[in-house]
Amino acid sequence: MRRSIVPKQIHLAAQLPGIHNVTVWSDPRSGSQIAIGSFVHLARTAERGKFDFFFLAEGLRLREHKGRVYELDVAGRPDNLTMLSALAAATSRLGVAATVNATFNEPYEVARRLATLDHLSGGRAGWNVVTSFDAFTGENFRRGGFLAEADRYTRAAEFLATARELWDSWDGGDVPADPVSGRFVRPGAGEFAHHGGHFDIAGRFTTPRSPQGHPVVIQAGESDAGRDFAASDAEVVFSKYNRLEEARAFYRDVKGRLARYGRSPDDLRIMPTATVVVADTDAEAAAYADEITRAQVSPQTAIAHLEAVWGRDLSAYDPDGPLPDIDPEPESLVLKGHSVFRTGRAETARRWRALAEERGLSIRELVIEVHGGQTFVGSPHTVADAIDHFVQTDGADGFVFATHLTPGGLDDFVDRVVPLLQEKGVHRPDYTGTTLRDHLGLRRLPGTGRTSGTASAQREGSAS
């Protein structure tokens, strides 16, 4: 990939985890996962660090373990877009992005809510387009599984296309509000008609064109179909690959698909989820990181994760002992609502057993090895150098940081690492635009009157 003499700018985002066991909720410093104050604290910290955006994931049903709410995750969270509307008022530049499901929603409703958020925030909205795979989630909507697995992405692609048609039904000049002529709205503004395989709708969209035209579209699929969907339609991709060689392979693959759809590498930002532990010295940070990881992967969590793969009740086994000598039941589902454990569990069990035997790992040590561990650990200089190296060598365009502690888990990174990235010239000293597209260096959309993506990318020094 062609290298610019100007270093790539590092794009940063923050996530308040609400559906995963990365948060150490038992820590005495931990605050509420629902109170507005927690969200405001983390969002304002991210804005102080000149992050691109604040992100909220979504789960449409609480996970269940052996028929009960899975308490080792953080259970329950407010509605994403409602919370982001409040955060838009508590911040002035930070982007606000949310997961909104394309399986159990309808395009008109989602397009209207996201356009409203883009108006309320002055052009800072983003949408992570996801699908649901199972009847367990569908029971909350009286739809069961609703879609065959093969139809998930076809519906999502048409859902997104339909939403874009709705947003484009208004142009930037459709509300002249001219008292001389007496015309407030252009005739025909908002009219739409979509006739497709999943949606057949026609009418008039209620929300005039928002500052960005379209909210920034985010995607997180790992399958071949998901990567193609990202290359054709997404503007940010969330990746699970935060180990450098795997991340580089994913980066090359997805960026290499863009040309098929008439897009360039600068039309898409790839941002893995990451964690960070900072202390005065590398040794202190390593010790603290180990403490955090062992809190995240408690003995109960280790057994629960093993049960999810084995499909059996393994509560009689010692988490500090060896793996069970019994075979998995791959068709049995013990942990429901967790996508990580839904497919390929027989192969996962084989790999886990081989790894445990090769390295002499206990159950808990194995789960820590495959699911635990922190991404960036060290002194401020060590962490800053590692993040910069990862991005400059095309492992990513930036990171979405998930904190182990709510709401103060980002404070040390912003106070101690971000200034070093700014000194290196790889992270903005201040915001140079007002919209999320500006922050990400993405192209202008017609009818918005916004700065072009090329100019914005040059202004931020971005290059791939």
Q: What SS3 class is residue 439?
A: helix
- At 92 the pLDDT is 98
**In this structure, are residues 125 and 210 in contact, taking their beta carbons and an 8 Å threshold?**
yes
Q: What SS3 class is residue 323?
A: coil
Q: Which residues pair with 53 in a beta bridge?
A: 13, 95
Average pLDDT rounded to a whole number, residues 410-427: 98
- At 462 the pLDDT is 31
Q: Alpha helix locations (H) across 234-344?
A: 244-257, 282-296, 299-310
Pick from 74, 392, 415: nearest CA to 276: 415
Q: What SS3 class is residue 459?
A: helix
Rounded Cα gap, residues 271 and 241, in angstroms: 9
Average pLDDT rounded to a whole number, residues 448-456: 37
CB-count exposure of residue 370 (10 Å: 0-12, 13-18, 19+):
middle
Domain boundaries, the chain: 11-281+374-460, 298-371
Rounded Cα gap, residues 437 and 441, in angstroms: 6
Q: What SS3 class is residue 152?
A: helix
- At 451 the pLDDT is 34
Q: How many residues does the chain have?
A: 464
List of residues 6+ apart from 292 with CB closer than 8 A:
24, 277, 374, 404
**From 26-40, 150-164, 450-464, the region with the lowest mean pLDDT:** 450-464
Rounded Cα gap, residues 270 and 461, in angstroms: 17
Q: Whose structure tokens read 């699970």?
A: 240
Residues 152-176 have pLDDT tens digits of 888 999 999 999 999 999 998 999 9
Residue 370 has pLDDT above 80, yes or no: yes
Neighbours of 176 (CB within 10 A): 12
Mean pLDDT estimate for the chain = 89
- At 72 the pLDDT is 73
- At 449 the pLDDT is 45
Rounded Cα gap, residues 268 and 398, in angstroms: 11
| Preceding amide of 107 cis, omega within 30 | no
Pick from 398, 433, 442, 456: nearest CA to 214: 442
Average pLDDT rounded to a whole number, residues 328-332: 82
- At 443 the pLDDT is 83
Superfamily of domain 11-281+374-460: Luciferase-like domain (3.20.20.30)
Rounded Cα gap, residues 380 and 453, in angstroms: 32
> Does pTM surpass 0.85?
yes
Average pLDDT rounded to a whole number, residues 291-298: 92
Residues 332-368 have pLDDT tens digits of 888 887 766 666 788 889 999 999 999 999 999 999 9
List of residues 6+ apart from 451 with CB closer than 8 A:
433, 438, 444, 459
Residues 43-80 have pLDDT tens digits of 999 999 999 999 998 888 888 888 888 877 766 778 99
Rounded Cα gap, residues 456 and 448, in angstroms: 15
Average pLDDT rounded to a whole number, residues 430-434: 97
Residues 118-144 have pLDDT tens digits of 999 999 999 999 988 788 888 888 877
Pairing type for strands 335-336 and 64-65 reads antiparallel
CB-count exposure of residue 333 (10 Å: 0-12, 13-18, 19+):
middle
Q: pLDDT over 70 for what percent of the chain?
A: 93
Pick from 138, 131, 129: nearest CA to 161: 129
Q: Identify the DSSP state of 194.
A: E
Residues 218-263 have pLDDT tens digits of 998 788 888 998 999 999 999 989 889 999 999 999 999 999 999 9
Amino acid found at 285: A
Residue 2 has pLDDT above 60, yes or no: no
Amino acid found at 300: Q
Identify the band that residue 453 occupies on the pLDDT scale cut at 50, 70 and 90: very low
- At 446 the pLDDT is 66
